[in-house]
Amino acid sequence: MCRKSFTHTRRTTHGCAVFADDFGVDCRAHPAMQTLIRPCARPALGLTSASSPKLRGCGTVAGKCGPRFGSRMASSRVCAANASPAATVEVALGDRSYPIYIGHGLLRGGDLLRKHVPGNTALVVTNTTVAPLYLDRVVANLSQGGDIRVEVVVLPDGEEHKNMEVLMKVWDKALETRLDRGTTFVALGGGVIGDMTGFAAASYQRGVNFIQIPTTVMSMVDSSVGGKTGVNHPSGKNMIGAFYQPRCVLIDTETLGTLPDREYVSGLAEVVKYGLIRDPAFFQWMEDNVDELMAREESAVVYTIERSCINKAEVVALDEKEGGVRATLNLGHTFGHAIETGIGYGEWLHGEAVSVGMIMAADMSERMGWMDKRILARTVDLLKKFNCPTEVPAEMTLETFETLMAVDKKAANGKLRLILLKGELGNCVFTGDFDKQVLKETIQAYVKK
């Protein structure tokens, strides 16, 4: 028996507390955000958890900050044949705005997917790992009305295949099967597939319709939203690409059932990031709901994805092409990229490196005297509870860090800028104005040799 589903669209309204002194962006000054700076004053997220015996609210103001789990729990168990989202988040980009649908079993039925396919053809792009798990569902869903011809291309799995040579297979397939400008490319997979398919769609016949179906935590909470697409070049990650927004993002949380633990928790590191840079109530909610998240409890997972998407959507709406505030989404990434490259790509997952990178950024912020050390302790504690790494890999040295971080510096006209935390939890700066000695001391405190 199906329960009645519950759909709610949340406008991207809550506050972001970013001081972006180096590029003069202060999104707290945004009129729509003035009243929303205090975490628990956010109307969109000021929910009550009283109806949920299992999930705990943030506790900042008793009973006011937890999610509305009573309805969410009911809504997340959907009828397979008529799946409707437990939550919908809107990415507000004028005529390129789009919805992010979140719910359990969304791929099994319903017309959410088909209604975003305007023409009568679609090309599903996936990989050898995801295809045996979810491809049938997506093809069946698209084919349901009998009016869409569905083509498929299955790429090899892995970051090492995120390149132009493999991307060519997508265009080959599209041309072989005579897909015209009215077609829709559908990305089914993690961030690698999403980034590649988006870029393929951006340039096929000068741009065709594009849909994201992310199947990893990382891609659900981060990469599928915001339109960054692309492939790697031998001389750098994501060096070739385009900003190209999807027509919709469809997140079926059921797909997380097959995601390996390591991938799952690595995605949670990016979720912690939103709490640190702009959403302290969410950070506290995560602290209060670690067990539920580690158990992948449906309602906690839906809420985590929803709130992450709201945060990402707000930042993207303010700064689509990363002229300013969007850079704050890279908290911990300069340290993290140095780790990923230093130990060799593929050794650590991206989120794992970001986990340690965020701790280093928080530590440095504390050493600068910019924030209270309790924030650092809470960050380490939360990431530890999520089983994310909190220590730098043994092979990393001060020299490796300095050399590899200089690559980011080169990319930014010779000035290394970092995202650092400043003030209360939920505030950050993107700045080159920091004491270089403190950076060195921070790295020294983390390297083992």
Ligand X SMILES: NC(=O)c1ccc[n+]([C@@H]2O[C@H](COP(=O)([O-])OP(=O)(O)OC[C@H]3O[C@@H](n4cnc5c(N)ncnc54)[C@H](O)[C@@H]3O)[C@@H](O)[C@H]2O)c1
Catalytic residue among 56, 104, 162, 326: 326
Smallest gap from residue 387 Cβ to ligand X (A): 16
Cβ atoms of 374 and 365 within 8 Å: the answer is: no
- Of 77, 188, 103, 197, nearest to 137 by C-alpha is 188
HSE toward the beta carbon, residue 362, CA cutoff 13 A: 27
User: How many residues make up the chain in this entry?
Assistant: 449
Candidate residues 226, 324, 342, 389; the one interacting with ligand X per rule CB under 6 A: 226
- Residue 263 interacting with ligand X (CB under 6 A): yes
Catalytic residue among 165, 206, 436, 449: 206
Q: Which residues of 4-14 are buried (b: 16+ CB within 10 A; e: fewer)?
A: ebbeeebebbb
Is residue 156 classed exposed, middle or buried when 0-12, 13-18 and 19+ CB atoms within 10 A define those classes?
exposed
Q: Which stretch binds ligand X (CB under 6 A): 139-147, 256-264, 414-422, 437-445?
A: 256-264
Smallest gap from residue 262 Cβ to ligand X (A): 9
Cβ atoms of 404 and 338 within 8 Å: the answer is: yes
Candidate residues 121, 197, 223, 400; the one interacting with ligand X per rule CB under 6 A: 223
Give the Cβ contact number of residue 426 at 10 Å.
25
- Residue 259 interacting with ligand X (CB under 6 A): yes
Cβ atoms of 376 and 394 within 8 Å: the answer is: no
Cβ atoms of 435 and 368 within 8 Å: the answer is: yes
Q: Which stretch binds ligand X (CB under 6 A): 4-12, 115-123, 212-220, 378-386?
A: 212-220
Distances in Å between the Cα of 363 and the Cα atoms of 215, 353, 434 are: 32, 15, 13
Active site residue 116: no
Active site residue 367: no
Residues 6+ apart with CB under 8 A from 169: 153, 155
Quote the tokens at residue 95: 């005529």
- Residue 238 interacting with ligand X (CB under 6 A): yes
Query: Which one, 252 or 297, has the nearer CB to ligand X?
Result: 252
- Residue 215 interacting with ligand X (CB under 6 A): yes
Rg from Cα positions in the chain:
21
Three-state DSSP class for residue 411: helix
Active site residue 270: yes
How do strand 149-155 and strand 121-127 relate by DSSP bridges? parallel
- Of 313, 365, 279, nearest to 16 by C-alpha is 279
The binding track of 58-97 with respect to ligand X, each residue x by CB under 6 A or -, is ----------------------------------------
Q: How far is it, in rounded angstroms, from Cα 309 to Cα 333?
A: 19
Active site residue 312: yes
The angle formed by the CA atoms of residues 157, 192 and 149, to the nearest 5 degrees, is 80
Give the Cβ contact number of residue 172 at 10 Å.
11
The binding track of 184-203 with respect to ligand X, each residue x by CB under 6 A or -, is -----xxxxx-x--------
Active site residue 237: no
Q: Which stretch binds ligand X (CB under 6 A): 38-46, 47-55, 106-114, 223-231?
A: 223-231
- Residue 219 interacting with ligand X (CB under 6 A): yes
Active site residue 347: no
The binding track of 386-415 with respect to ligand X, each residue x by CB under 6 A or -, is ------------------------------
Candidate residues 60, 129, 143, 203; the one interacting with ligand X per rule CB under 6 A: 129
Catalytic residue among 127, 289, 311, 330: 330
Query: Which one, 47 or 327, has the nearer CB to ligand X?
Result: 327
The binding track of 152-171 with respect to ligand X, each residue x by CB under 6 A or -, is -----x-x--x---------
Active site residue 385: no
Catalytic residue IDs: 206, 228, 270, 312, 322, 326, 330, 333, 337, 350
Q: Which residues make up the interface to ligand X (CB under 6 A)?
A: 127, 129-130, 133, 157, 159, 162, 189-193, 195, 215-216, 218-219, 222-223, 226, 228, 238, 255, 258-259, 263, 350
